[in-house]
């Protein structure tokens, strides 16, 4: 795994964790961009959108659009990953506890 892949797998886990904490288990790309920045992922809006789309392709989130803004909502597969019931390829495993 190269460094870019490492960063993406970590960012995807952070996105899932954030969605699990949000009311309605959803957040838009702007919120997720700020959260990722807090965790040291200073990336472009398009890069964040790519990570959100990846998670949608893995059936971990449901994507909707509101104008030009993407919104992700946590789905069961994303919850199952966070709770160690399944392992999503391309997403870091959550720490125990």
Which CATH number do you get for residue 46? Answer: 1.10.10.10
Residue at 10 is within a domain: yes
Using CB atoms within 10 Å of the CB of residue 87, give its burial: 0 to 12 exposed, 13 to 18 middle, 19+ buried: exposed
What are 30-50's pLDDT values in tens digits?
999 999 999 999 999 999 999
pLDDT at 1: 82
Domain region containing 15: 3-82
pLDDT at 76: 98
pLDDT at 55 over 80: yes
pLDDT at 97 over 70: no
Residue at 40 is within a domain: yes
Question: How many separate domains does the chain show?
Answer: 1
| Mean pLDDT of the chain, nearest integer | 96
pLDDT at 15 over 90: yes
pTM value? 0.96
How many C-alpha atoms does 48 have within 13 Å on its Cβ side? 23
72-79 mean pLDDT: 98
pLDDT at 34: 97
Residue at 89 is within a domain: no
Residue at 49 is within a domain: yes
Measure the CA–CA gap between 97 and 46, rounded to whole angstroms: 32
């Amino acid at each position: 795994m190269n460094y870019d892949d490492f960063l993406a797998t970590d960012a995807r886990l952070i996105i899932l964790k954030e969605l699990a904490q949000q009311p309605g288990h959803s957040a838009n790309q702007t919120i997720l961009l700020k959260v990722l920045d807090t965790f040291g992922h200073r990336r472009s809006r398009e890069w964040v959108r790519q990570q959100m789309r990846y998670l949608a392709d893995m059936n971990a989130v449901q994507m909707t659009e509101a104008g030009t803004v993407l919104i992700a909502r946590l789905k069961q597969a994303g919850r199952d990953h966070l709770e160690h019931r399944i392992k999503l390829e391309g997403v870091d495993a959550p720490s125990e506890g």
